[in-house]
Amino acid sequence: MTTPVTGASPAEETAPEIIVIDDVTKRFVVRKDNSLKERLTGFGRGRKHREDFWALKGVTAHITAGTTVGLIGHNGSGKSTLLKVIGGILEPTAGSVSHRGRIAALLELGAGFHPDLTGRENVFLNASILGLTRKETEERFDEIVAFSGIADFIDTQVKFYSSGMYVRLAFAVAVHTDPDILLVDEILAVGDEAFQRKCLDKIRSFQEQGRTIILVTHSSGQVTELCDWVILLDKGEVKYEGEPNKGVALLRENLEERRQAAEGDKVDEIMGRGVIHDVRVYPAGGQPGDEVSPGSDLVVEMDVEHYDGLDDWMGAIQIDNTMGQAVYGTTTKRIGLRLPTLREERTVRFTFKDVRFGTGKYFLNASLMDFAGRHIHDLPQVTSFDVPYYEYAVGAVYAEPTAEDLGERSGRPA
């Protein structure tokens, strides 16, 4: 992993620091005596049945006003714990967090709601927790309910709500408290697609207004689309702080290393030892590093080897854009190429005819797999290529646009 980098996020240099996280450490005590009997028989034996778990270890970061920050990392890396420390839900074991302005936190589904109260009553309860007066809540109540889209159920006890209804109402209250800082923990993963889009639009409007947003999500697309700064956590420590696309790439590498470590023995037992030594990408007639212009043929070469011999195998290529979205993928099996037994190192060449990718950078993922689709060796984002700037359009697809004015339409039906 990359050496930790700490510092201020890239808002305007004149923007003040709104959150300062200074050497924050958080310890939890994990009990190892699971049953009541074990606790009774182990009573008084000190720390024998307890273990310290360090969720955060010396985390330091300075966040400037108007920045949207993504907290990323694998499960258990400390993202949610750090968000709760920032929001004042948890006290750090050591270190400190200071902030300026009102915080609205969406940390857990329905947090701040009482199940026996109605949606209407919980709006007033949750709004008061987030700092609104009753008069302010009354003034914004209709807008909150309209945003949530659950007006028909606003006088129903929330214990009868679905998880999506919880999220709708909780998010609606939080974003109408006029926060300076919005903390969001995976809340956008719940709810239907239309409501998720409404939430994302609200977040964008907050960004335009210069609000500060800290977002925990496992969606790399949300990170690259919404965030202008990321903090990558691993085992409670900051491993990278900086540009979102690089942070997402480092996270993918880390997750792939973990997956291969966890599954390596199993794969070796089933299919022996295979490896991709190198991957190269270049436009036909060019060399690695050359730009790939629309209309070019794209060449990808994989050098592969299997130390024990593998009869039924295939090579696979996936091309991702900078948001981590797959824009193209294929395998030698799909193409209909039957490959000979793999032992000594050999090269497989893919040629993609007349490619028309839109402007930007694209990343190559390469895989060596058996015919059942089991991954023997993967190289995520092993290399990349660039498509030159095209001033007339944006997106992952190249097409030459034209437009014409057809004039005013008469006789349009009312």
More confidently predicted of 226 and 112: 226
59-88 confidence digits (pLDDT tens): 999 999 999 999 999 888 999 999 999 988
Structure tokens, 46 = 């000190």
Residues 61 and 1 sit within 8 Å (Cβ to Cβ): no
pLDDT of residue 225: 81
Domains of the chain and any CATH numbers? 17-101+180-250 (3.40.50.300), 272-387 (2.70.50.60)
Contacts of residue 275, defined as CB under 8 A and 6 or more positions apart, other chains included, come to 304, 305, 306, 307, 368, 377
Report the Cα–Cα distance between both ends of the chain, in Å, rounded: 63
Mean pLDDT of 160-181: 87
Q: How many residues does the chain have?
A: 414
Per-residue pLDDT at 3 exceeds 80: no
Q: What is the pTM of this model?
A: 0.66
Compare 28 and 261 and report the one with higher pLDDT.
28
Strands 298-306 and 346-352: antiparallel
**Per-residue 3-state assignment (H helix, E strand, C coil) for 28-53:** EEEECCCCHHHHHHCCCCHHHHEEEE
A 10 A CB-CB count for 51 gives 11
Per-residue DSSP letter, 269:
H
Residue 101 corresponds to which tokens in the numbers above? Answer: 């302005």
pLDDT digits (tens, 9 = 90+) for 364-406: 999 999 988 889 999 988 999 999 999 998 888 999 999 999 9
User: Is the pLDDT higher at 7 or at 412?
Assistant: 412
Residue 4's pLDDT band (cuts 50, 70, 90): very low
Q: Is the pLDDT of residue 254 over 80?
A: no
Which single residue is written with the structure tokens 């964008």? 204
| Tens digits of residue pLDDT in 205-233 | 999 999 999 999 887 778 888 899 999 99
State the pLDDT confidence band at 166, using cuts at 50, 70 and 90.
Answer: confident
Mean pLDDT of 133-158: 93
Helix (H, G, I), strand (E, B) or coil at 401: coil
Region of poorest pLDDT, from 128-137, 188-197, 395-404: 188-197
More confident residue, 319 or 258: 319
Contacts of 227 (CB under 8 A, 6+ apart): 68, 69, 70, 215, 244
- Using alpha carbons, list the distances in angstroms from residue 163 to 160, 261, 339: 10, 35, 49
